[in-house]
Amino acid sequence: MTATPTSRPGTRAPAPMVPPTRAARAAAGTADYLDQRTGIGLAVKGLARKLFPEHWSFMLGEIALYSFITLLLSGVFLTMFFVPSMNEVHYTGPWTALQGTQMSEAYASTLRLSFEVRGGLLMRQIHHWAALIFMAAIITHMMRVFFTGAFRKPREINWVIGFTLMVLGLAAGFSGYSLPDDVLSGNGLRITDGLMRGIPIIGTYASYFLFGGEFPGQDLIPRLFTVHVLLVPGLILALVGLHLAFVFLHKHTQFPGSGRSNTNVVGFPLFPVYVAKAGGFFFVVFGVIALMAGTMQINPVWNYGPYDPSPVSAGSQPDWYMLFLDGALRLMPGQVEWVIGTFTVPLNVLIPGMVVPGVLLGGLALYPFIEAYASGDRREHHVLDRPRNVPFRTAVGVSVLTAFLVLVLAGSNDLVATRFHLSINSITWVLRFALFVAPAIAFVLTKRICLALARRDREIVLHGHESARIVRFASGEYLEVHTPLDEHERWIRVQHDPVRPLEIAPAEDSRGVRRRGYAKDRRRQRLSRLFFEDRVEPVTPAELAAAQSHGAHDELPTSPGPDQLTGAVTGGDSPRTLGLDGATGARER
Which tens digit of pLDDT belongs to each residue from 256-298? 988 888 888 888 888 888 888 888 999 999 999 999 999 999 9
Indicate the helix (H) or strand (E) that contains 166: helix 156-177
- Cβ–Cβ contacts within 10 Å for residue 238, how many? 11
How far does CA 438 lie from the centroid of its chain? Answer: 21
**pLDDT, tens digit (0-9, with 9 covering 90-100), for 440-453:** 999 999 999 999 99
For residue 13, give every residue at least 6 positions away whose Cβ sits within 8 Å of its Cβ, in sequence order, or none. Answer: 7
Q: Residue 151: which of 13, 250, 76 has the closest Cα?
A: 250
pLDDT band (50, 70, 90) for residue 6: low
Q: Give the model's pLDDT for residue 76.
A: 95
Q: Give the model's pLDDT for residue 336.
A: 80
CATH number at residue 236: 1.20.810.10
Whether 442 maps to a domain, the answer reads no
- Cβ–Cβ contacts within 10 Å for residue 253, how many? 23
Give the DSSP letter of residue 388. G
Whether 32 maps to a domain, the answer reads no
**pLDDT, tens digit (0-9, with 9 covering 90-100), for 478-535:** 888 888 888 888 899 999 888 899 988 888 877 778 888 888 989 999 999 999 999 9
Query: Of 385, 403, 418, at which residue does a domain stop?
Result: 385
Q: In the predicted model, is pLDDT for residue 145 greater than 50?
A: yes
For residue 114, give every residue at least 6 positions away whose Cβ sits within 8 Å of its Cβ, in sequence order, or none. Answer: 120, 121, 124, 301, 302
Whether 419 maps to a domain, the answer reads no
Give the DSSP letter of residue 57. G
Query: Of 341, 370, 385, at which residue does a domain stop?
Result: 385
Q: At what angle are helices 356-375 and 391-410 packed, to 10 degrees?
A: 180
358 and 476, same domain (yes or no) = no
**Please, which residues bridge with residue 254 across strands?**
383
Whether 101 maps to a domain, the answer reads yes
pLDDT band (50, 70, 90) for residue 10: low
Whether 371 maps to a domain, the answer reads yes
Domain span holding position 295 = 61-79+92-312+322-385
Whether 445 maps to a domain, the answer reads no
Amino acid 480 reads: E
Is the bond preceding 272 in cis, omega lying within 30 degrees of 0? Answer: yes
Amino acid 544 reads: L
Of 157-171, 328-342, 555-569, the least confident = 555-569
Whether 535 maps to a domain, the answer reads yes
349 and 480, same domain (yes or no) = no
Whether 37 maps to a domain, the answer reads no
Residue 560, CB-side half-sphere exposure with 13 Å CA sphere: 21
For residue 452, give every residue at least 6 positions away whose Cβ sits within 8 Å of its Cβ, in sequence order, or none. Answer: none
**Please, which residues bridge with residue 465 across strands?**
483
User: Is 109 strand, coil or helix?
Assistant: helix
* Residue 481 phi, psi dihedral angles, 5° rounding: -85, 130
Q: Give the model's pLDDT for residue 8.
A: 57
Mean pLDDT (the chain) is 85
Query: Of 385, 404, 428, at which residue does a domain stop?
Result: 385
469 and 557, same domain (yes or no) = yes
Please state the domain count of the chain.
2
